[in-house]
Every structure is written in C-alpha cells, then in structure tokens.
A and B are shown apart, each in its own frame.
Chain A
C-alpha cells in the first residue's frame, strides 16, 4: 500500500470515527458488542475508586460520602419495594458507583441489559420548613447535622437558619422522618429526578468512545509515518478527553443517586401577637313577649312625674 493511499484511508477513518463519537450512534454501539470490546467495558473500574465528588463544587463529600457499594443498593423512598438497580447496573457494567471488578461485564449486550432493567435511577431531594422556638433554631440545625452524620451522610451547607445535608439514599426516608421530628413541619416537598435515560446515553457514548480509542490505538501502532502518527495522536487525545468528561458526568450522577439532598429551613416561632379588635358587643339581652318585662329599670321607676 502506498503512503498516499494509507494517508487517505487514515483521514477517512478518523473522520468517520469523529462523527461517530460526536453522535454516540448506535452503529458503534453495535460494534462495541464485539468480543474485542470486553476489555473497554470493564475499564471503568477506576470510577468506583473515586469519590463521588460533586462536580458543581458546592459540596465536597468526605470519605464517608463514597457511593454506596454494590452490595447495598439504596431503595428509593417513593417506592420502597424497588431498589435502585440503576446503581447496580452502573456498578455491574460501567457505572461509577462501583465495579464488580471480576470482569464479568457483558459487553455483548450493553444496550439490552439497560433495556431489561427498567428500575429508574432517581435523584431524591427533600425540602423542609420547620418551625421551632427562637432559642431552638441553632440546636435544631445541630441535630439535623448530627442525624445526617449518624445515617452516613454529610453536611453540605449551613447558615444560621438553614442547613443542607446529604444522606445515603437508602436512609432517605428515615432521615426525612427523623428531621421532621425536630420541629413543627410547615412545608415539605420531596421530589425524585429520573436520570436513567441520560445515564444510559452516557453509558452508550462511553462504550463507543472506548471502541474508537481502541481502534485509534491500533491504528497508531500501525502508523507508517510521523505525520500519520501525529494525526492519530491528536484524535486519540480528543477522544480521551471526551471519555473523561463522560466518566465525570456519570460519577456525578452516581453520587447524586447514592446520596439524597435534604434542605431544611428552620423558622423561629413568632411571638403570639395580641390581636386588638373591636370590643365585643354586650351579650344580647333576653327578649320575652311580656310587656312589663321591657319596662323594668331605674328610668321608669324613678320617673315620678308620670
């Protein structure tokens, strides 16, 4: 094969791969189902080793804030009977919450596995407004932080009158109930955000990009010239950056799913206002159908002119 022909094929291949990476097309998902993709599928083991650091930088999870291990799937509060297999799925295959590490990921059916496990991947959040005595506001916030820590959670943010904590999703319901006992609940809002679809898309894109990277690496090994090698190298860098981004995004989702956010605003009970209204009118006088009854009193008695 002439050098010109090889360059031409290389350019065509990189262009095709770039398009596929950008689109995350199913064409390459199917390609990834080949046995040669088994290794890339098992690759995200490193993701399970990383902390579920929040990518928004708002809260930094301490060591205890690691995503739940695969053996302890957190049940969603709204549907206690349904565990969070999304975490399991991510864990078993490519999920950031952990990896079995035994290489038993089934790369032959990445998409099918996803479709076969309908359990949603849910991010739970709770917003509570509590009312306590004025002197109990700060102690109540302390108790909320303590409760979150006891449940394996951690403090996210705190002010004089509010607190945000993350607690393991497995204990979300118990945690919210416990917090509700710390004061009079004025308002309660619990929501669940389903990120299953987005997570699945990220999985597919990750698989495709790893397939592309593998091919690029193979092609780099066969590069005949320095120019070809540099061109493949640049493409390899771009694909690797994209893989890192997707992995980070998946870690973010895993952390959010594993730890539910509970926001509590603590309101001081206002002093009972004394309502000053119009004076209560005198009690209605009894009326009887008796004439003399209406003529009783000093006015008539003392009117001696008549």
Chain B
C-alpha cells in the first residue's frame, strides 16, 4: 500500500511538472466583442474572427533562437516589407495584461485590389523557473474599412492578453 502511494506520488509529481512546463506556454486571450473563436488550425494557438472578416490570432512559440524583442520585431518587419507590406508608422510599444512589454507594427497592403490592414504584435517572455523562453505573436488583419471599425476591440484584446 505504501509502495503504491509512493508510485502515485511520483507520477503525480511528474504530471505536475509537465503541466507546469506546458502551462508556461499557455496564454489567455479574451475574445473581443463581436468576435467568435475559430478552432481547428495548426498555425495558430488562438484565432477569432468577427462577422466582417477581421481576424485576430495568437501564436505561442518557443524562442529557439533566444532573440530578444527587438530582434523578433525587426526580423518580422524585414520579412513583411520584403513581401510587399507597407509600414504604417513606427513600431509601438505595448504592454499586455501580464505586464509583458511588446512591440507592435502596423502595415497596409493591397490584396486583390483591396486595401487591408495588418497588425503584428510581439511579446517575448524570457525563460524562468520551469518556464521556457517564449515568443507570443499576435496578428490582426482585415479589410481596412471594417478593421478600422473593429480597431478598439482589437486593441483591447491585445492589451488584455495574459501570458
């Protein structure tokens, strides 16, 4: 009986550590008002859309390169510019609900003759006790007109992201 208890205890501890480890990769995103959460896509850890096609999505990725916030923001910016995204202002500092500082870049781009907006916000959470170095990437985009209307909800959702 005692051996069984010990085994159960060990297993519980391992599961707990694993849960803690996995839990560190988690985040919480409040679905903006007027948006519905989308499931079943491997690219994103969270994605939601409103009825007009404005989409907000979050990726939680391991920072395998151990790049800092500036690195990831600049690297993403370079890549997007190379793909034809036009910057709409400079990088903006943002802070999420967990107090994590991030950088937000905004772009415009024409797709099929339609002007679109695209925001990308990067948070980097350094490694810590039972936590891996992670990068949280929040993307938001949609037709310019409808996006502008949903802009307050999107900004609020980003600010309320807890990591």
- Cα of A306 to Cα of B114 in the assembled complex, Å: 22
- By the criterion CB–CB under 8 Å, are B43 and A300 in contact? yes
Chain A, interface residues (CB within 8 Å), range? 20 to 34
- Cα of A301 to Cα of B38 in the assembled complex, Å: 11
| Segment at the interface with A among B77-85, B86-94, B96-104, B124-132 | B77-85
Q: Residues of B within 8 Å of A, CB-based: how many? A: 32
CB distance from B31 to the nearest CB of A (A): 14
Contacts of B111 in A (CB 8 A): 298-299
CB distance from B64 to the nearest CB of A (A): 6
Contacts of B139 in A (CB 8 A): 296, 301
- By the criterion CB–CB under 8 Å, are B137 and A292 in contact? yes
Which residue of A296, A301, A302, A306 is within 8 Å of B79 (Cβ)?
Answer: A296
CB distance from B47 to the nearest CB of A (A): 8
CB distance from A277 to the nearest CB of B (A): 21
Contacts of B137 in A (CB 8 A): 292, 296
A249-296 contacts to B (CB < 8 Å)? 282-286, 288-290, 292-293, 295-296
Chain B positions within 8 Å of A, measured between CB atoms, are 38, 40-41, 43, 47, 49, 53, 55, 57, 59, 61, 64-65, 75-76, 78-83, 85, 109, 111, 116, 118, 120, 137, 139-142
**What are 8 inter-chain pairs, A to B, with CB distance below 8 A?**
A284-B82, A286-B82, A290-B61, A295-B43, A298-B141, A299-B111, A301-B140, A302-B142
Known contacts A292-B43, A296-B137, A299-B111; 7 further A-B pairs (Cβ under 8 A) = A283-B78, A284-B82, A285-B79, A286-B82, A298-B118, A298-B141, A304-B55
